[in-house]
Amino acid sequence: MNGLAAEERGGEAAGGLCCLREDGERCGRAAGNASFSKRIQKSISQKKVKIDLDKTARHLYICDFHKNLIQSVRNRRKRKGSDDDGGDSPVQDIDTPEVDLYQLQVNTLRRYKRHFKLQTRPGLNKAQLVEIIGCHFRSIPVNEKDTLTYFIYSVKNDKNKSDLKIESGKQLG
């Protein structure tokens, strides 16, 4: 009996309900492995989709129906923005792929926090860690062209990251 109660509290792992509300009522569908983030909430509110997070939910996992709905809204927006190729437009920012940090273990999230010296209060739970790390992760600037160039170079020349840094240093110096 204790195992069942623990599973029910786990939400997503035990077939809990979707964490979203539609027209003021909690969704009754089973939650999947996709999670709802503030970034997704912002993008769907711009498209005036009337779903929001249920504040009583103990997790951020959404059902497949809402996942597909959100993806279709985001895809429509991407096609519209791809016509004018605005570069650093907000449309492009909204359509960048999400990384589901909930798939990582808590210890991995803590190591990320420690590596980047993120200032947080002690004793954060997984959801709080994911939110803080997600904000930091999305704020890291990435030059796609350089990253892809280095990746292809590394694969072709069977180099690892440390070899690449040494090579780059020699070329510049």
In-domain check, residue 58: yes
pLDDT of residue 23: 79
Phi-psi sector, 123: left (phi>0), alpha (psi -120 to 50), beta: left
CATH number at residue 32: 3.40.1800.30
Instruction: Report pLDDT for 151.
Output: 87
Residue 26 lies in a domain: yes
Residues 107 and 147 both lie in one domain = yes
| Burial of 66 per CB tally in 10 Å (0-12, 13-18, 19+) | buried
Instruction: Output the six-digit token pair for 50.
Output: 């009337």
Distance of alpha carbon 60 from the chain centroid: 11
Q: Are residues 24 and 72 in the same domain?
A: yes
Is 163 inside any structural domain?
A: no
Per residue in 99-127, pLDDT (tens digit) is: 888 889 999 999 999 999 999 988 889 88
Domain co-membership, 25 together with 62: yes
For residues 27 and 17, give the distance between their C-alpha atoms in angstroms, rounded to a whole number: 7
Q: Is residue 139 part of a domain?
A: yes
Whole-angstrom Cα distance, residue 136 to residue 132? 6
Q: How many domains does the chain have?
A: 2
Are 109 and 152 members of one domain?
yes
pTM above 0.75, yes or no: no
Chain segment 122-151, per-residue pLDDT in tens: 888 988 999 899 889 888 888 888 988 988
User: pLDDT (tens digit, 9 = 90+) per residue, 27-72?
Assistant: 888 888 888 887 788 777 777 778 888 888 888 888 888 888 877 7
Supply the range of the domain harboring residue 28: 20-76
